[in-house]
């Protein structure tokens, strides 16, 4: 159940991130509330994993603050919501996959001279793609 909610969140927030480079607080509120309700009603994740997933998002929020939003606050909040839905380890896998995918795309854009060093890419499409790939790998037995 939480996997479906995570995919719906990534799609909704990812489209908005690409179009507006901003994600509405209503999306975070809706999916975050859904994640909290699922955790309290069904207890999808062990509490330590759930809190650890939230902490990953908090870490990105802190990095965003220190770097003056080189990593946007919306990205940190998105990881926080993902952490509430998937727990620590699956969120960590999704974030690492997202960073890897973003690095590959950035390298291709730089090599093709389509973007400069300071060019910013929206992170949510990478988080959604990386997260979905990790969930698929988990379901198929690769992880």
- For 10-45, what is each residue's pLDDT tens digit? 999 999 999 999 999 999 999 999 999 999 898 778
Best CA proximity match to 94, nearest among 73, 108, 80: 80
Is residue 3 assigned to a domain?
A: no
- For 57-96, what is each residue's pLDDT tens digit? 999 999 999 999 989 999 999 999 999 999 999 999 999 9
Which range marks the domain in which residue 72 is found?
27-140
Please, what's the b/e burial string for 20-42 (b: 16 or more CB within 10 A of its CB; e: otherwise)? eeebeeebbeebbebbeebbeee
pTM, two decimal places: 0.93
Is residue 77 assigned to a domain?
A: yes
Is residue 99 assigned to a domain?
A: yes
Is residue 71 assigned to a domain?
A: yes
Q: What is the tally of structural domains in the chain?
A: 1
Best CA proximity match to 133, nearest among 78, 94, 82, 76: 94
Is residue 11 assigned to a domain?
A: no
């Amino acid at each position: 159940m939480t996997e479906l909610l995570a995919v719906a969140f990534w799609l909704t927030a990812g489209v908005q991130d690409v179009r507006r480079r901003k994600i509405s607080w209503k999306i975070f509120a809706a999916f975050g509330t859904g994640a909290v309700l699922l955790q309290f009603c069904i207890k999808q994740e062990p509490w330590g994993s759930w809190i650890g997933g939230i902490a990953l998002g908090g870490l990105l929020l802190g990095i965003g603050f220190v770097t003056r939003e080189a990593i946007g606050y919306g990205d940190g909040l998105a990881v926080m919501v993902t952490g509430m839905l998937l727990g620590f380890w699956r969120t960590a896998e999704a974030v690492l996959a997202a960073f890897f995918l973003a690095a590959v795309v950035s390298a291709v854009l730089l090599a093709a001279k389509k973007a400069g060093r300071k060019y910013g890419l929206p992170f949510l499409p990478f988080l959604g793609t990386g997260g979905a790939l990790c969930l698929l790998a988990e379901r198929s037995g690769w992880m």
